[in-house]
Amino acid sequence: MGTRYGRGTLAVTAGAPRVPHLRRRRLQLYEPVQKRTYWSLAVVSLCAVFGIWALLSYTGAVQNLFLPTPTQVWQAAVTENNTGILWPDVGASVLRIVLGFVISSVVAIPVGMLMGSYKVFEAALEPPIDFMRYTPAVAFIPLTLIWFGTSTTQKLVILFIAIFFQEVLLIMDNVKNVPMPFVDMAYTLGLSPAQVVRRVIFRAALPGIVDTLRISMGWGWTYLVVVELVGATDGLGFQIQQAQRYLDTPEIILGIIIIGVLGLIFDFSFKGIYARAFPYMSRGR
């Protein structure tokens, strides 16, 4: 028989379905994986990308003018480091992205909190913010160059336009997703509306806000490079633009790789902050 009984317990014998294997469980929805497995898969995927690049470039499947070899890119990095060009450009770009991101976020968080908590602020602010959100930040580059020239201020204005109007609406949605029972309970305990916003709604929405900030940083890098490509005298985007003039593809690839590495550093920093600050939100992380 397929089953037998003992002391009220159903025991599974031959013919009964087996428990899914561990490998199958890894493909279950929201099923966590060990950190070692996670990082192993991440490293393998990155190595696969660089492996395809090496295969195409070293074998001559793609001419080096269009796709330089990893060795050529490394030589370009060594040359730029020795001539003192590399790190000032990296520093200029990092400084701009950090300043633009901080300024945008410092304004977006309180405005998004107000819009998500009070319908009157949502009604008053969402239409103009939506209007600006659908206006490409790149379209403002010629105008800001006329206003501010190629100064750092011009870059920060473009970064603000690119980040703030997207970020503030996402923060508003984070606030709207706070469960109403939390608010009702706070009122029952005698908290004022301002205390509810500060001590209940903000804290409940904070995990989503941190995720929003992480996504916003990615947008910021995209627009920063565009700005530096068009009107700058230093930075990684400027470096790429200068290399393009002389068909120096190793330097172009080098700039792209540095931007990608910096992006990974910022992204995983936010993930680390999230994991440390909100361990109770670890599902699927």
Q: What is the pLDDT of residue 282?
A: 63
Mean pLDDT along residues 251-255: 94
User: What is the value of pTM for the model shown?
Assistant: 0.81
Mean pLDDT along residues 258-281: 90
| Least confidently predicted of 2-16, 94-108, 187-201 | 2-16
Mean pLDDT along residues 195-219: 92
Q: What is the pLDDT of residue 4?
A: 46
φ, ψ of residue 3 in degrees (nearest 5): -140, 160
Q: Is the pLDDT of residue 245 over 70?
A: yes
Q: Which domains does the chain have, with CATH numbers?
A: 16-67 (no CATH), 70-281 (1.10.3720.10)
Token pair 């279950």: residue: 28
Q: What is the pLDDT of residue 38?
A: 83
Q: Count the Cβ atoms, other than its own, within 10 Å of residue 226.
A: 15
Give me the chain's average pLDDT, please.
Answer: 87
Centroid of chain to Cα 42 = 16
Q: Position 74: which residue type? A: W
DSSP labels, 104-173: HHHHHHHHHHHHHH-HHHHHHHHHHHHHHHTS-GGGGHHHHHHHHTTSHHHHHHHHHHHHHHHHHHHHHH
Q: What is the pLDDT of residue 215?
A: 92
d(CA 213, CA 244): 32
Q: What is the pLDDT of residue 23?
A: 56
Q: Structure tokens of 205?
A: 């929405």
Centroid of chain to Cα 211 = 8
DSSP letter at 233 equals: S
| Least confidently predicted of 69-83, 104-118, 222-236 | 222-236
Token pair 């109403």: residue: 180
CA atoms within 13 A on the CB side of 228: 26
d(CA 234, CA 211): 30
